[in-house]
Structures are given as C-alpha cells and as structure tokens.
C-alpha cells in the first residue's frame, strides 16, 4: 500500500508519462499541494532516475526507459489487461510437478494466479513480491535467489543471484524484459537483471519470454538472452510478417494472448 507521499509522486509520474512535460503550476493544480512540496517531490523523483527537472517544470527523457518504483507498478496490476492475457496464455506451457524459474517482472505476477491449479510445482524466483504472492496463493515450494535487494525494485540480481541460480535446474524459465529486438534478443537497462536472466536460460530446459507490444522492436544496453535462445514467445498481437519470419528462422513457437 502506498503512503500519501508515494501516492502523490505516483500521480506526478503518471501525468508526465502521459504528457511528457509539466510546469510546476500544472502539478500544483494536479495534486493540490504547495509549490515547495512539489519541488521536493521533483528533486526526489529526479534522484530516483524517474524524471529530469528543467526550468519551470519537469520532463521525461524516454518513457520506455523510466524505471518506475515497483510498488507504483503493482498498484496498477488490475488495470494491466494485456499483461494478464499474456500470462493466461503462458500458463498453457506449465504442467504439474514442474520446476520453474520465474523472474521479478509484473508480467510474472499476473502468472501467479494461474499457478494455483497446478500441483507439485517448485519455483525459483528473484522477485521479493513474486515469492510472497506465490507463497500466499499457490501450494508451490518457493525458493528465492540470494543477494542484495535492488532499491525500489523488489528484485534480487547481480553476481550473487547469478551464481545462486546456477545451483538450480528448471524445466521452464518464464521471464519478461525491457525490450525485445529480433536481432539482439532480450535486453535490459540493468546489467544485474540481465545476468540473472542469463543464468535462468543456462539452467532451464526451455525458455518462455512474455512481452507486451510496447516492448517489441526495442533494445537496451544489456543483452540478457540471444534471440535464438528463446523457445516460446508469448505476446498479445500477431507479429508483423518480417518479425514472424525471424521467429520461424529460429524455430521459436509463438503464442498469442
């Protein structure tokens, strides 16, 4: 549950995501707080890497690269229809008694509610909230990777988590990503997150990538998974012809939610 300050800052971030730029006066009217309070919020949000302050207001540099705090994301879960449908489709890949790797993405959180109907699952995750929800809503045996928690992201990644993941073997790894490029594959903004996904791919028999339309044909700094290493691509709409040709070339199975 977000507190009053976090709710206000979420309103500011959401406004900027929709409008790209806002004057301080616009934000004062939006949240009904003083100019001093808004300016403190903008300083905090800039330090968190969410916005850039400019003369008279604030702006987003690139909407896709904004790393919104995790608690802000999970308060919007019920509104994420596309992710929910993708997760519903991905659940068709799961069977009783499987060992799964599950990443810390909000798309994976949508999958959790589908896992209650399976028996004998063992799940390894790098997501703190993911693990809590699995424990609450499923009968799966849940393991959490070791390492440091990334501030405001409720995820564990980096070299310790990578090495811990290498001590497991899974039938299926289920991940999402920051961007999916048809040449570079799965990419991330954070090296640590890319490392964990590399380990999941290395130690899993099969890999499923769950991706919304806005992430397709975008790439970021750190490659996590080469395109040819993907076994299943789960998305909401049919791919463009040239994209589908790439998928066929690498014998990737497409599932549409």
Domains and CATH numbers, the chain: 4-63 (1.10.10.10), 73-256 (3.40.50.1360)
Tell me phi and psi for residue 106, to 5 degrees.
-70, -25
β-pair type (149-150, 204-210): unpaired
Give me the sign of the Cα torsion angle 192, 198, 199, 201.
Answer: positive
Gap between the Cα atoms of 74 and 257, Å rounded: 21
- Helix ranges (H only) for the chain are 4-19, 24-31, 35-47, 70-74, 81-90, 106-112, 128-137, 159-165, 191-203, 241-249
Gap between the Cα atoms of 43 and 58, Å rounded: 10
Q: Along the 257 residues of the chain, how does pLDDT read in single tens digits?
A: 567 888 898 889 888 888 888 999 999 999 999 999 999 999 988 887 778 898 889 987 665 555 555 555 555 555 578 999 999 999 999 999 999 999 999 899 999 989 999 999 999 999 999 999 999 999 999 999 999 898 777 899 999 999 999 999 999 999 999 999 999 999 998 899 999 999 999 999 999 999 999 899 998 889 999 999 999 999 999 999 999 999 999 999 999 97
Give the global pTM: 0.75
């Amino acid at each position: 549950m977000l507190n009053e300050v976090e709710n206000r800052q979420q309103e500011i971030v959401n406004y900027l995501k929709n409008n790209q730029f806002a004057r301080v006066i616009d934000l004062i009217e939006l949240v009904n707080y003083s100019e001093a309070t808004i300016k403190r919020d903008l300083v905090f949000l800039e330090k968190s890497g969410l916005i850039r302050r400019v003369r008279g207001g604030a702006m987003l540099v690139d909407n896709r690269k904004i790393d919104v705090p995790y608690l802000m994301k999970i308060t919007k879960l019920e509104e994420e229809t596309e992710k929910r449908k993708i997760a519903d489709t991905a659940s068709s890949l799961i069977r009783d008694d499987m060992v799964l790797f599950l990443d810390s993405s909000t798309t994976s959180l949508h999958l959790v509610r589908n896992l209650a109907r399976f028996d004998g699952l063992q799940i390894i995750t790098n997501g703190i909230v993911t693990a809590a929800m699995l424990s609450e809503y499923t009968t799966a045996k849940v393991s959490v990777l070791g390492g440091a928690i990334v501030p405001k992201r409720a995820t564990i990644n980096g070299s310790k988590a990578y090495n811990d993941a290498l001590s497991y073997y899974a039938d299926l790894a289920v991940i999402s990503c920051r961007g999916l490029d048809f040449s570079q594959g799965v990419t991330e903004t954070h090296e640590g997150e890319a490392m964990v996904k590399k380990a999941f791919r290395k130690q899993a028999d099969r890999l499923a990538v769950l991706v919304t339309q806005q992430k397709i044909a975008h790439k970021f700094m750190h490659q996590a998974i080469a395109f040819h290493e993907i076994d299943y691509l789960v998305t909401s709409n049919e791919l463009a012809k040239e994209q589908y040709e790439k998928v066929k070339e690498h014998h990737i199975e497409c599932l549409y939610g």
